[in-house]
Amino acid sequence: MTFEKDAKEMRAVYAEGLIALAEKDDRIVVCEADLMNANGTKAFFKAFPDRTFDVGVAEANMIGVAAGLAASGKIPFANTFTPFATRRCMDQVTISCAYTNLPVKIGGTDPGICAQLNGGTHMSLEDMSLMRSIPNMVVFEAVDATQLAQAIPQIAYNDSPAYIRIMRTQADKIYGPDYKFRLGKADVLKDGSDVVIFATGIMVVRALKAAVALQEDGIDAAVVNVHTLKPLDTETILKYAAKCNAVVTAENHSILGALGSAVAETLSENRPTIMRRVGVKDRFGEVGMLDYLEKAMHLTVADIAAAAREAVAAKK
């Protein structure tokens, strides 16, 4: 199975989405921490220089500024690389944004192994876990350009603070022109009855490819894109756990605290089910290109297929 790449980079789609909103709503503003070129938001700055605030390399201050803007009636989108958007300014996000329940939207770019040559210091494998643990936060990861473009307005006009996990480069195209995005509602991309693979971000295309490989073994795998980690679509998770009786999660993230944990918590409290988790096993990142890193971190199509086979075998 082959997938074509989106025509535009995700960071370009993100910036275009913000510009489209800003043209109709003067409350839309952007905060940056010296990464406008990297994040693609320089296009927003060129369109709306008086509504762009670059604080320099001071991410915690950026979150504070964004919270102040939100308290003043604006809808700020504050953007930087994932580790700087989350672990570096965890207290500011918690207190200035979430505790006050201000609608600050935080864009974290280059998630997980997508950081590639920036290496372990920039390879945040815990960002979703951190953001998910904070009350009031909405936590979302876009899979392709179509989904991101539709998600931006829904997130902008959701009253809660939000974390948006975004790869910067071209994504594998998953959705067509008929797609309708719903924040908080998982997308069933392929039905199946033997095992369900819940995936997010760059792992969605790998899950779909794994489903093809499993079909050759006579295993009918469902694939569900859980794009919104919080609020979690527990209804769809429980429905497919009951249908398949075997569950796999696949995430470009540590297996601790994010998608795998959220699904495991849901199942353990409502419907204990055989489950396997594909993700980074409690380690830091390293320098490398994507094809090397997915093998080193065990995030490949083969890893997902192997986990699914294990889960199916455990039912017998």
What is residue 255's predicted lDDT score, i.e. its pLDDT?
Answer: 98
Tens of pLDDT, residue by residue over 48-60, are 999 999 999 999 9
Query: pLDDT per residue over 284-302, tens digit each?
Result: 999 999 999 999 999 999 9
Q: pLDDT tier at 1 (50, 70, 90 boundaries)? A: low
Residue 199 in this model has a pLDDT that exceeds 80: yes
Q: Phi and psi at residue 27, in whole multiples of 5°?
A: -80, -20
In sequence order, the β-bridge partners of residue 141 are 165
- pLDDT value for 316: 81
Q: What is the mean pLDDT of residues 12-31?
A: 98
Q: pLDDT of 63-86, one tens digit each?
A: 999 999 999 999 999 999 999 999
- pLDDT at position 2, please? 75
Alpha helices in 59-194 (DSSP H): 59-71, 82-85, 90-92, 127-132, 145-156
CATH class of 187-314: alpha beta
- Per-residue pLDDT, averaged over 188-203, amounts to 98
Per-residue pLDDT averaged across 213-240, rounded?
98
Q: Starting from the edge strand earliest in sequence, which strands make up the sheet with 162-166, in order?
A: 52-54, 28-32, 75-81, 105-109, 162-166, 138-141, 228-230
Three-state DSSP class for residue 140:
strand
Dihedral of CA 293/297/299/300: which sign? positive
Token pair 């919080």 in the structure block, residue: 230
Contact 267, 273 (CB under 8 A): yes
pLDDT over 70 for what percent of the chain?
100
Residue 25's φ and ψ, nearest 5 degrees, are: -140, 110
Longest dimension (CA), the chain: 63
Under a CB-based contact definition with an 8 Å cutoff, are residues 30 and 70 in contact?
no
pLDDT in tens, 236-285: 999 999 999 999 999 999 999 999 999 999 999 999 999 999 999 999 99
Kindly state the percentage of the chain with pLDDT values over 90: 99
The domain locations on the chain are 10-166, 187-314
Same fold, 10-166 and 187-314: yes
Best CATH choice for the domain 10-166 from the list 3.40.50.300, 3.40.50.970, 3.40.50.150, 3.50.50.60: 3.40.50.970
The Cα 281–Cα 49 span in angstroms is 43
Rounded to two decimals, the pTM is 0.96
